């Protein structure tokens, strides 16, 4: 026997039952983005390494430790994208999207790659959906982005979600605050974990986000950003909070929220799931007013978010939202007599105009076919034998309740539509 292969650690296959949930997660997102006026952008999965070093940030864990980087045949350094934002900005500049509209509103979906330690909700190839609004400093844009994420997660059925927001101030305020935090931590380094020593050197603000208990104790007394924010940054954050309230979004301000990427200025936010916890966010983002310039463009304010599909699926499972509600098949058509197959064939092709239909290729014993239908997750089995052929009907058996009804062929479509509702 030849060698057996397995999916690489931190990657996973999506089988049909899972893909169905994924497709719904994607469809609801696309539909909402359309209604908010966003257009789709698709960017490559690999780019020049330097794009992420400059974009995601050279000092971040993502770039320092987690990128899949390799030379191509010409010796250029390429990396699989660890996130979408730098690529979207590169494309925005490369295609002069600023000339097409004052503000570009883009959405995207696809795989991202981070060489992280795999665990619950943590993969090496994971999938994000996200949006970026490029070209406006308005707090209204921050709010639109946050509301879209919030409404989206609710639209797919999640109830137990929480939102935390914070401001890191503009570039100047952020630098000032970073200095204040550095001074504060300098005297307390001996009480910080090993990772935080490293963070302290690269970006002291990241220490504020540490989840290690001893670090949390130190951080509890850290100075808050409020004291160093300038008037404009204060008023920007006030506006964001005011409009979030007006939009009916529940949120709390978490002055320790920093996020793991270095490009953020002013608003940052994260949505977490009650069951899976604050430490593993469903999605997050913020404003990044310096990134376009950092990537060679003119000074252009922007804001966006990304959410992780695997994490959304876990949260849906924890709330049992998807369980049992979505069938892979609407109807399994079972011919049970030798001379009923042609009739079953015609019925199946007729029903396929509107429904997902499995036609069993051979006439088999009814019990075997019903067992197969239920294994496949069919909502109904349409049984046709000699009587049904004669009467021009089919017996529709509801697989969950066991209820059955003989329905005329010419009424089967409208009857099923009513029964299946929005499924
Ligand atoms: P991020 O916080 O690095 O932000 O990732 C966003 C989401 O991706 C996380 O909330 C999480 O759901 C998911 N995620 C991240 N890493 C993993 C992993 N290893 N396994 C599974 N899921 C993961 C960004 O990526 C920014 N681009 C967001 C943004 C857009 N900011 C402005 N615009």
Quick check: 339 and 302 in contact, CB under 8 A?
no
Closest residue by Cα to atom 21, ligand 1, is 122
In CATH, what is the architecture of 16-170+230-318?
2-Layer Sandwich (3.30)
CA dist 109 and 107 (Å) reads 7
Determine the average pLDDT of the residues in 401-411. 96
pLDDT tens-place string over residues 149-167: 999 999 999 999 999 999 9
Contact between residue 223 and residue 206 where contact means Cβ atoms under 8 Å apart? no
Specify whether the CB–CB gap between 180 and 223 falls below 8 A.
yes
Helix and strand totals (H; E) in the chain: 16, 16
Ligand 1 atom nearest to 287, measured from its CA: 32
Helix, strand, coil content of the chain in percent (nearest 5): 45, 25, 35
% of the chain with per-residue pLDDT over 90: 85
Q: Are 145 and 305 in contact (CB under 8 A)?
A: yes
- What is the Cα–Cα distance from 263 to 6, expressed in whole angstroms? 37
pTM score, two decimals? 0.89
pLDDT value at residue 279: 65
Q: Quick one: how far is CA 394 from the chain centroid?
A: 42
Query: By C-alpha distance, which of 167, 187, 188 is closest to 177?
Result: 167
Question: What pLDDT shows up at residue 106?
Answer: 98
Residue 181 structure tokens:
């935090």
Best of 128, 132, 141 for a ligand 1 pocket test (most atoms within 8 Å of beta carbon): 128
- Give me the CATH code for the 329-416 domain, please: 3.40.50.800
pLDDT at residue 28, rounded to an integer? 95
Kindly report, residue by residue over 246-264, the tens digit of the pLDDT: 999 999 999 999 998 999 9
Centre of ligand 1 to C-alpha 34, Å, is 22
Q: Which of 170, 176, 174, 175 is nearest to 299 (CA)?
A: 170
Q: Which residues, judged by CB distance below 6 Å to any ligand atom, belong to the binding site of ligand 1?
A: 83-85, 114, 116, 121-123, 126, 128, 130, 132, 260-261, 281-286, 288, 304-308, 310-311
Q: What is the mean pLDDT of residues 75-100?
A: 97
Alpha carbons 270 and 281: distance in angstroms, whole number: 6
Q: Is 3 helix (H, G, I), strand (E, B) or coil?
A: coil
Q: Which atom of ligand 1 is nearest to the CA of 281?
A: 10
Between 394 and 202, residue with greater pLDDT: 394
Bigger pLDDT: 365 vs 401: 401
Q: Which of 61, 43, 51, 153 is nearest to 114 (CA)?
A: 61
- Ligand 1 atom nearest residue 56's Cα: 27
Q: How far apart are CA 362 and CA 380, in angstroms?
A: 18
Q: Is the pLDDT of residue 287 over 60?
A: yes
Query: Which one of 83, 119, 259 would you pick to mutate in the ligand 1 pocket, going by the greatest count of ligand atoms within 8 A of its CB?
Result: 83
Q: For residue 120, what are the CA distances in angstroms to 136, 276, 280?
A: 37, 9, 9
Counting atoms of ligand 1 from 1, which one is nearest the CA of 124?
19
The Cα 121–Cα 109 span in angstroms is 18
For 324, phi then psi, to 5°, come to 70, 0
Q: What is the pLDDT confidence band of residue 423, given thresholds at 50, 70 and 90?
A: very low
The residues spanned by each domain of the chain are 16-170+230-318, 329-416
Categorize the per-residue pLDDT at 323 as very low, low, confident or very high, splitting at 50, 70 and 90: very low
Is the distance from CB of 303 to CB of 285 less than 8 angstroms? yes
**120 CB-near residues (< 8 Å, 6+ apart):** 276, 280, 314
Tens digits of per-residue pLDDT, 198-239? Answer: 889 988 999 998 888 999 999 999 999 998 999 999 999 999
In this predicted structure, the answer to whether residue 13 has a pLDDT above a threshold of 90 is: yes
Centre of ligand 1 from the C-alpha of residue 128, in Å: 7
Report residue 187: phi and psi, to 5°. -80, -5
């Amino acid at each position: 026997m030849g060698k057996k292969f397995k999916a690489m650690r931190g990657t996973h296959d999506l089988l049909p039952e899972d893909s169905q949930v994924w497709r719904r997660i994607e469809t609801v997102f696309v539909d909402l983005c359309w209604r908010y006026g966003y257009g789709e952008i698709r960017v490559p999965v690999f780019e020049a390494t330097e794009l992420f070093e400059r974009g995601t940030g050279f000092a971040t864990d993502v770039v320092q430790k987690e990128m899949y980087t390799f030379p191509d045949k010409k010796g250029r350094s390429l990396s699989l994208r660890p996130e979408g934002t730098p690529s979207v900005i590169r494309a925005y500049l490369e295609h002069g999207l600023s000339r097409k509209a004052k503000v570009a509103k883009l959405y995207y979906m696809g795989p991202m790659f981070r060489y992280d330690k795999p665990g619950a909700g943590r993969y090496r190839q994971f999938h994000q959906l996200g949006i970026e609004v490029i070209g406006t400093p308005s707090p209204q844009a921050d709010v639109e982005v946050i509301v879209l994420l919030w409404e989206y997660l609710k639209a797919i059925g999640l109830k137990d979600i929480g939102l935390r927001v914070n401001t890191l101030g503009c570039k100047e305020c952020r630098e000032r605050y970073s200095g204040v935090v550095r001074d504060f931590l300098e005297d307390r380094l001996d009480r910080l974990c090993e990772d935080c020593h490293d963070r302290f050197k690269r970006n002291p603000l990241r220490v504020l986000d540490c989840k290690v208990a001893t670090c949390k104790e130190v951080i509890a007394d850290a100075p808050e950003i409020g004291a160093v924010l300038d008037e404009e940054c204060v008023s920007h954050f006030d506006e964001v909070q005011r409009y979030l309230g007006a939009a009916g979004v529940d949120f709390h301000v978490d002055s320790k929220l920093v996020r793991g990427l270095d490009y953020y200025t002013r608003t940052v936010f994260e949505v977490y799931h009650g069951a899976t916890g604050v430490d593993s966010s469903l999605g997050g983002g913020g404003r990044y007013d310096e990134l376009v310039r950092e990537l060679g463009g003119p000074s252009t304010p922007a804001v966006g978010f990304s959410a992780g599909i695997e994490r959304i699926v876990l949260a849906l499972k924890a709330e049992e939202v998807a369980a049992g509600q979505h069938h892979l098949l609407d109807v399994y058509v079972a011919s049970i007599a030798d001379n009923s197959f042609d009739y079953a064939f015609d019925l199946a092709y007729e029903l396929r105009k509107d429904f997902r239909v499995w036609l069993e290729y051979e006439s088999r014993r009814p019990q075997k076919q019903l067992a197969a239908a239920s294994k496949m997750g069919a909502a109904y089995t349409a049984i046709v034998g000699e009587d049904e052929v004669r009467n021009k009907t089919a017996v529709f058996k509801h697989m969950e309740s066991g209820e059955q009804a003989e329905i005329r062929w010419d009424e089967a479509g409208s009857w099923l539509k009513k029964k299946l509702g929005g499924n």
